């Protein structure tokens, strides 16, 4: 874990494990901040005035944290985690002040722990929430069997939809669609274009790569386990065409629409009550790897309403299931509809 140096152009690394000089690093090299660490006995877990993390020396407002962001408390090395096991784990920030992080989501059993003699580690990630800034990309496709090689460029591509499906005992799938402006075919490569190395990681599955399914603020368990969950995000983009232009002159933004479904075992009426009463609730889930750097992605919808759903009684010797559809809405507390946390390293 690195710590900020005194220069705006340098970073001081701990003596262990340290860094090795590299005269000509690859152009794709990056140095990421993956969290922060308190000095001995500085960080403490508290339940006084609500659940939170307090400090004496460390100023939380200087760390680039966001309200609504998830963090992971506790490392694996000796003295980097709380002695109270339940005070380590995933928490969501509800307020930030100089010497306190308040949480509205904590592990079950979260309790006060002074962190005596410990240098507690807290892991953080990139934090995204829905907004209005439009970003576009150019896709390159190479036809290597042509002589000379043909390069096809599909330009002005803006992400329109994302569909995530997490079925039981299957692969977790992410399906994206883009909308673009135009395309061009050439025999010379565009300056600055580079090849991306193929991913070496295994495909994520719903049996061993889903770290949490959270509904209404608590991990899903017991009689209402889920057999499938889906999430669909639509930006409702449109191509803006014009006379005198072969391609689109722009991509118009539409209304953000986030929907999905949860297929649960009908073990009690808690979810059905929320359907019948139009109750505001929440949904979050985390997927990631259990090897290497253990990267994780957290999807969080702080405000949803279950739009439909009823028990399905298919017959004898079969489980009764409740397939509930949901609609995400803008959170009155956080001011967004969805957030995504991307953790490049977790212990």
- Helix count and strand count (H, E) for the chain: 1, 25
Structural domains present in the chain: 3-124 (no CATH), 160-177+204-343 (2.30.110)
Whether the Cβ atoms of residue 267 and residue 223 lie closer than 8 Å to each other: yes
Per-residue pLDDT at 6? 43
9 pLDDT above the threshold of 70: no
Per-residue pLDDT at 12? 67
pLDDT-derived band at 34 (thresholds 50, 70, 90) equals very high
Q: What is the mean pLDDT of the chain?
A: 92
pLDDT-derived band at 4 (thresholds 50, 70, 90) equals very low
In DSSP terms, 142 is beta-bridged to 151
Q: What is the mean pLDDT of residues 147-152?
A: 96
Predicted confidence (pLDDT) per residue in 224-252, tens digit = 789 999 999 999 999 999 999 999 999 99
324 pLDDT above the threshold of 70: yes
Per-residue pLDDT at 2? 44
278 pLDDT above the threshold of 50: yes
pLDDT-derived band at 18 (thresholds 50, 70, 90) equals low
Per-residue pLDDT at 189? 95
pTM of the predicted model as reported, rounded to 2 decimal places:
0.89
Task: Count Cβ atoms within 10 A of the Cβ of residue 207 and give its class: 0-12 exposed, 13-18 middle, 19 or more buried.
Answer: exposed
Q: What is the mean pLDDT of residues 304-311?
A: 89
Per-residue pLDDT at 7? 53
Terminal Cα distance for the chain, rounded:
11
Longest CA span, the chain: 71
Per-residue pLDDT at 13? 67
The SS3 call for residue 244 is coil
Predicted confidence (pLDDT) per residue in 65-117, tens digit = 999 999 999 999 999 999 999 999 999 999 999 999 999 999 999 999 999 99
- H helices present in 146-301, as ranges: 270-277
DSSP string, 204-231: PBTTTSEEEEEETTEE--GGG-EEEEEE
In DSSP terms, 233 is beta-bridged to 162, 258
In DSSP terms, 251 is beta-bridged to 239
Q: How far is CA 314 from CA 205, 229, 267, 311, 320, in A?
A: 27, 20, 15, 9, 7
Percent of the chain scoring above 90 in pLDDT: 76
Joined together, the tokens standing for residue 49 give 């005035």
Of residues 130 and 314, more confidently modeled: 130
Per-residue pLDDT at 231? 98
Sign of the C-alpha dihedral, residues 211, 215, 218, 221?
Answer: negative
Per-residue pLDDT at 1? 43
Joined together, the tokens standing for residue 271 give 């979810």
Q: What is the mean pLDDT of residues 146-175?
A: 96
Range from 23-32, 187-196, 336-345 that averages highest in pLDDT: 336-345
* 92 CB-side CA count, 13 A: 21
Residues 164, 283: Cα–Cα separation, whole Å = 14
Closest CA to 275 of 310, 251, 230: 310
């Amino acid at each position: 874990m690195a710590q900020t140096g005194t220069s705006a152009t340098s970073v001081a690394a701990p003596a262990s494990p340290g860094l090795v000089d590299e005269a000509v690093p690859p152009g794709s090299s990056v140095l990421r901040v993956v969290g922060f660490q308190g000095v001995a006995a500085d960080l403490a877990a508290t339940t006084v005035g609500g659940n939170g993390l307090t400090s004496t020396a460390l100023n939380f407002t200087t760390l680039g944290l966001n309200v609504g962001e998830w963090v992971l408390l506790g490392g694996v090395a000796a003295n980097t985690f709380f002695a109270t096991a339940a005070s380590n784990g995933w928490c969501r920030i509800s307020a930030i002040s100089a010497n306190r992080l308040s949480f509205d989501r904590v592990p079950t059993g979260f309790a006060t722990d002074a962190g005596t003699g410990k240098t507690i580690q807290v892991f953080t990630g990139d934090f995204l929430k829905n907004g209005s800034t439009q970003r576009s990309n150019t896709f390159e496709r190479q036809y290597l069997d042509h002589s000379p090689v043909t390069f096809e460029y599909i330009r002005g591509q803006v992400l329109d939809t994302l569909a995530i499906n997490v079925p039981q005992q299957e692969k977790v799938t992410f399906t994206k669609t883009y909308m673009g402006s135009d395309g061009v075919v050439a025999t010379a490569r565009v300056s600055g274009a580079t090849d991306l190395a193929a991913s070496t990681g295994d495909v994520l599955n719903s049996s061993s790569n889903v770290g949490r399914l959270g509904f209404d603020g608590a991990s899903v368990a017991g009689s209402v386990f889920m057999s499938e969950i889906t999430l669909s995000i639509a930006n409702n983009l449109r191509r803006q065409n014009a006379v005198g232009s072969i391609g689109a002159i722009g991509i118009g933004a539409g209304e953000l629409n986030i929907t999905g479904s949860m297929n649960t075992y009908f073990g009690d009426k808690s979810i059905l009550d929320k359907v019948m009463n139009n109750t505001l609730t929440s949904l979050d889930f985390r997927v990631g790897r259990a090897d290497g750097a253990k990267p994780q992605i957290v999807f969080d919808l702080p405000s949803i309403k279950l739009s439909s759903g009823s028990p399905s009684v298919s017959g004898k010797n079969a489980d009764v299931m409740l397939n509930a559809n949901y609609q995400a809405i803008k959170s009155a507390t956080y001011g967004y509809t969805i957030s995504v946390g991307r953790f490049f390293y977790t212990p």
